[in-house]
Amino acid sequence: MAPDTAQSLDNLRLERDAVLLYDALASIEKDAHRAGAFTRIASNERRHAEIWASKLRAAGVDVPPAPTRPRPRVAVIVLLARLFGTKAVSDLVTALEGDEEEMYEAQSSPEVDAIAADEREHAEIWRKLKDPDYHPDRDIASRERWHRSGRSGTLRAVIFGVSDGLVSNLALVMGVAGASNQTDAPAHFILLAGLAGLLAGAFSMAAGEYISMQSQRELFERQIALERAELEAMPEEEEAEMASIYRAKGFREDEAKAIAHRLFENPERALEQLIREELGLDPNELGSPFGAAFGSFVAFGLGAFMPVLPYLIGGGTTAFVTAIGLSLAALFAVGGGVSLLTGRGVLFSGARQVAIGIVAAAVTFLVGNLIGVTVS
pLDDT digits (tens, 9 = 90+) for 82-136: 988 888 888 788 777 776 766 766 666 655 656 666 666 666 666 666 554 454 4
Q: What is the mean pLDDT of the chain?
A: 78
First to last CA, the chain: 68
Class of domain 3-134+146-151: mainly alpha
Query: Residue 375 gets which letter from DSSP?
Result: P
- The per-residue DSSP string of 92-112 comes to HHHHHHHHHHHHHHTS-SHHH
Find the helix packing angle between 154-179 and 316-342, rounded to 10°.
160
pTM for this prediction: 0.55
Residue 320, CA distances (Å) to 18, 23, 208, 211, 305 in order: 44, 47, 31, 36, 14
Question: Residue 344 and residue 352: Cα distance in Å, rounded?
Answer: 11
Q: What is the reported pLDDT for 342?
A: 64
Band the pLDDT of 320: cuts 50, 70, 90.
confident
For residue 210, the surrounding DSSP H or E stretch is: helix 187-233
- Where would I find the H helices in 106-186? 110-129, 154-179
Question: Residue 273 and residue 242: Cα distance in Å, rounded?
Answer: 9
Query: Residue 53 gets which letter from DSSP?
Result: H
- Of residues 181 and 331, more confidence is placed in 331
What residue spans in the chain does CATH classification 1.20.1260 cover? 3-134+146-151
- Of residues 77 and 178, more confidence is placed in 77
**DSSP3 helix / strand / coil % (the chain, rounded to 5):** 80, 0, 20
> Mean of the pLDDT values across residues 34-45?
86
% residues pLDDT > 70 (the chain): 78
Q: What is the reported pLDDT for 129?
A: 66
